[in-house]
Structure 1
Amino acid sequence: MESIEEAITFLGGPAAIWVLAAAYFSSVILERLWALRGNPEYNNKDALCSIGLNLINSVFGLLIGFLIPLTLYVVVFEQFRLFDTLALWLAIPLAFLIHELAYYWDHRLAHRVGLLWAIHSIHHSSNEFNHTTAARGFLIDPHVKTLFLLPAALIGIDPVVFVGVTVLTNAYGIWNHASWVPRLGWLDRVLMTPKMHKVHHANQLQYIDRNYSQVTLLFDYLFGTTAHIDEEPNPGLVKPTYDYNPLTAQFVGFRQLKDRIDTADRWEDKLAYLWHPPEWSHDGVCRSDCPKYANLNPA
């Protein structure tokens, strides 16, 4: 238990960001080396765009995505916790379950609220699926998840423990974007393996808005959002984009949202696009984020 405590203390301390950065870039480099032999169609332009998006997101997101949520967590832990700090053997599994549930609902909202989807869709805008896409994100993420994480502080899970567990789950979230991992049999029924997460990135009708969780399939099963593989998943948006400039690719979701808003004449309808699901339209016409768009507008 002492070695586990030391590991969690290390991961939950100042090294957290560097551990994740090392996990991301080492995964990207090793996957690219593997692709030299096993995947000659590896898209270098797309990969470099994803890495650029990650660097921009990391710089701007350090405050909003890490320091502010951590400060809020610490305040709740120090001022409002209901119990004394929990024992490590209990705190670690509880931290994992709370983080997994928070990730699920934050991710699901990002897909089901128009404005949040405009932000999150950059993560899905790559037409490739590999380690580079794991941290492909918008320069400012609202991090709704922070609100879902506060119960962990409220019940007394030490911030260092919670950050340490978060680092481990996020490192797993990098791995589950691997292009080189095949189907894993029964593990695909339990964990969010790379193939199961590739389903989430796919633009086929049967795969859209499925497999939201990060590490396990527990909450997808519980809330009825699980999809298993039948045909090979095809990653990308239902209205694909081919912008490899990280400075302009940032805004693909907002461009598609604006295109839909511009079809409405009434302000009530225009504003409704911000909170309705991304496939919604004021006149019932299937546009860009509508799951049937690809079938109605074949390339």
Structure 2
Amino acid sequence: MDLTNPLVYGGPAFIAFILLELVYSKTHDNDELYEWKDLFASGAMGLGSAIIAPLVKIVFAVVLFSFVYDLFNPLVDGVPTNIMGWESFGWAWYIWIICQIADDFSYYWFHRANHEIRFLWAAHIVHHSSDNFNLGTAVRNGWFTVLYKPFFYMWIPAIGFHYEMLIVCMGIEALWQFQLHTKYVPKLGFLEKFLNLHTQHQVHHSRNIEYMDKNHGGYLNLFDKMFGTWKELDEEIEIKYGVTTPPASYNPFVILTHEYGDIWKDVKRAKSFKEGFMYIFGPPGWSVDGSSLTVKQQQKILKKAAIGADK
């Protein structure tokens, strides 16, 4: 089946919508929404990602997914048949829907792992490193996540979904994620019950302690609700965007690598293999002496303080 990845059309559309939001914000008394240096840094990240990602995806996505699909779905009498015994899935409309939900499940765990494993966070922090929340931030992507992202999706072609279908579903997911990065869309009522929408993604990009590591879903909030990471926006709370350890630079290479440098500093002062391992693969903020805290530790302290204040 001859399919086109929808991200082929994403680049020009992304630029157009960023310019539209930029002009609208500058002409409607919201001048602080975009900072020029920050926008150019985000643009550089996006440009680099646009150049590197397709090259890497050819190897790590198309080749990997097709290999997995062929390995687990060999031809039996000319029909792709999964090694578990069922006929591999076809191209019916409902198969597309199931594949899209499977894609969202993988995206949730890929995204959550990026926040809970420091070595992965070092790649993903690029996307969160801006103090601004706008469509420009949407293209502020790290260049290294594409090296491991496909491994979170391998099970989908392994159970019988065609790898081309999966790649299209991943492209649709990416398009949805882009448009979430705007403040101009309010809560959307009933849709908020099952879709991951704009105000929920504002929560995700917040560095307010109570909001951190929430709302990892792609276009559904189902898995956040199932696995305890969903949080609704409280419009009475002022959101502060960005990260607690920002790169303090607009240099794209500093933005790309600063967290890796911080990991290396921590590993050098580790007194055991276990400590070194935790500084690399433990949750961001973990420290042996409590000099820095993980998100869960900070949220636990905040919760205790709130309980104490109510007494």
Q: Same fold (TM over 0.5)?
A: yes
Partner in structure 2 of residue 53 of structure 1: 45
The AA in structure 2 aligned to 1:269 is: E
The one of 66, 71, 78 equivalent to 1:79 is 71
Question: Looking at both structures, which has the greater relative contact order when contacts are Cα pairs under 8 Å and sequence separation is at least 6?
Answer: 1
Partner in structure 2 of residue 260 of structure 1: 266
The one of 87, 100, 105 equivalent to 1:101 is 105
> What displacement does 1:229 show?
1.4
> What displacement does 1:68 show?
2.0
Give the number of aligned pairs.
Answer: 285
Structure 1, unmatched stretches of 5+, are none
Q: Does 1:40 align with 2:46?
A: no
The AA in structure 1 aligned to 2:215 is: N
The AA in structure 1 aligned to 2:20 is: L
Q: Does 1:191 align with 2:195?
A: yes
For the 8 Å contact 1:125–1:237, the answer to whether it is kept is: yes
Q: CA deviation digits over 1:152-173, x for unaligned, max 9?
A: 2133323332222222221111
| 1:225-264 alignment, distance < 5 Å | 225-230=229-234, 231-264=237-270
Query: Separation in 2 of the partners of 1:258 and 1:185?
Result: 46
For the 8 Å contact 2:119–2:281, the answer to whether it is kept is: yes
Distance 1:242 1:187, change over 3 A: farther
Query: Separation in 2 of the partners of 1:76 and 1:287?
Result: 40
The one of 151, 172, 179 equivalent to 2:176 is 172
Percent identity between matched residues is 26
For the 8 Å contact 2:65–2:163, the answer to whether it is kept is: yes
TM-score computed with the length of structure 2 as normaliser: 0.83
Q: CA deviation digits over 1:76-97, x for unaligned, max 9?
A: 2233221234242222111111
The AA in structure 2 aligned to 1:205 is: I
The one of 15, 31, 38 equivalent to 2:21 is 31
For the 8 Å contact 1:208–1:291, the answer to whether it is kept is: no
TM-score computed with the length of structure 1 as normaliser: 0.86
Q: CA deviation digits over 1:167-212, x for unaligned, max 9?
A: 2221111001123222323333322111111111111111111100
The AA in structure 2 aligned to 1:129 is: F
SS of corresponding position for 1:153: helix
SS of corresponding position for 1:280: coil
Query: Separation in 1 of the partners of 2:126 and 2:263?
Result: 12
For the 8 Å contact 1:54–1:136, the answer to whether it is kept is: yes
Query: Separation in 2 of the partners of 1:97 and 1:144?
Result: 20
Q: Does 1:277 align with 2:302?
A: no
The one of 148, 152, 155 equivalent to 1:151 is 155
Query: Separation in 1 of the partners of 2:173 and 2:204?
Result: 17
Q: CA deviation digits over 1:31-61, x for unaligned, max 9?
A: 1121122321121211110110111122223
For the 8 Å contact 1:111–1:209, the answer to whether it is kept is: yes
The AA in structure 2 aligned to 1:213 is: G
Q: CA deviation digits over 1:234-275, x for unaligned, max 9?
A: 210013343112122211322332343344344542332111
Distance 1:70 1:261, change over 3 A: same
Partner in structure 2 of residue 18 of structure 1: 8
276-285 or 213-222: which moved more?
276-285
The AA in structure 1 aligned to 2:14 is: Y
Distance 1:66 1:132, change over 3 A: farther
Structure 2, unmatched stretches of 5+, are 74-81, 302-311
Q: CA deviation digits over 1:97-125, x for unaligned, max 9?
A: 11101101011111111111111111111
Query: Separation in 1 of the partners of 2:258 and 2:188?
Result: 33
Q: Which has the larger radius of gyration?
A: 2
The AA in structure 1 aligned to 2:26 is: L
The AA in structure 2 aligned to 1:279 is: G
The AA in structure 2 aligned to 1:49 is: A
The AA in structure 1 aligned to 2:131 is: N
Distance 1:105 1:125, change over 3 A: same
> What displacement does 1:142 show?
5.0
The AA in structure 1 aligned to 2:18 is: V
133-142 or 276-285: which moved more?
133-142
The AA in structure 1 aligned to 2:145 is: D
